[in-house]
Amino acid sequence: MESALLLLTGLFLGMRHAFDRDHVAAVTHFISLEPDPLKSAWFGFRWAIGHAVTVLSLGSLIILLRLKFDPAFERYAELAVGISLIVLGIWRLGLLIQDRRHTHAHRHKEEQHRHAHSHEAPRPHVHHFAPTLVGMVHGASGTAEVFVLLPVTLMASRALAYLYIGLFSAGCAVTMSSYGYLAGRFYRRASEKGQRIYRILVVLTSSIGIVLGAIWILNNLR
């Protein structure tokens, strides 16, 4: 019963961990690319896969080899997160500037609405790999939190320790996918309201990501 409660705690900690500011900011950039709930949920899930890969890889070093990471590792990992947030924000603003968007009317089932869409060629390489790579960077910065919270009683059993990591990662995936779906609905509604509202929203979220990245870097340079 004690082990079950500890494993359940790992699941809920993973769900909470997904809502860290840097995670939400990063995934939001990808969601704004294609304001569709299902695609946005897929972006969130792919981010979570990258996060899980890094956590599992570093966790294996701790569980199997009993390695202890130098405190400097966490610092450099956090700096990498800050840099990634700035790069993502600038990248998303750059796409917005390059994007030749237009708004015109569509009629669906007797209801007319306006929808902004791009004539730019699709970017499958960005869609397929970038969320996962960003998730891997974020997974490195979150590893310390995972294993500081990993109970000693679970560390005594490799199977339970891996199950704890798996449930933690599953919690991240469920939460981030759910966030992606809801944010995708929000962005789709914004795009239907018109090009100007959509652009303002993208500029706002991109700017917040850049500022957050700068703060992240400054906090870890002290």
pLDDT at 156: 66
Predicted structure pTM score = 0.83
pLDDT in tens, 70-101: 778 888 999 999 999 999 999 999 999 887 54
If 0-12 CB within 10 Å is exposed, 13-18 middle and 19+ buried, where does residue 94 land? exposed
Q: Higher pLDDT residue, 153 or 184?
A: 184
Burial readout 42-63 (b: 16 or more C-beta within 10 A, e: otherwise): bbbbbbbbbbbebbbebbeebb
In DSSP terms, which residues pair with 114 in a beta bridge?
Answer: 105
Residue 11 belongs to what H/E stretch?
Answer: helix 2-17
pLDDT in tens, 137-148: 999 886 666 665
Q: Higher pLDDT residue, 208 or 152?
A: 208
Residues 158 and 56: beta-carbon distance below 8 Å? no
Give the rounded percent of residues in the chain with a pLDDT score beyond 90.
48
User: What number is the average pLDDT over the span 115-143?
Assistant: 69
Q: Which of 14, 47, 17 is nearest to 30 (CA)?
A: 47
Q: How far is residue 207's CA from residue 190's CA, in Å, rounded to a whole number?
A: 18
Of 17-26, 64-73, 165-174, the poorest mean pLDDT is in: 64-73
pLDDT in tens, 37-48: 999 999 999 999
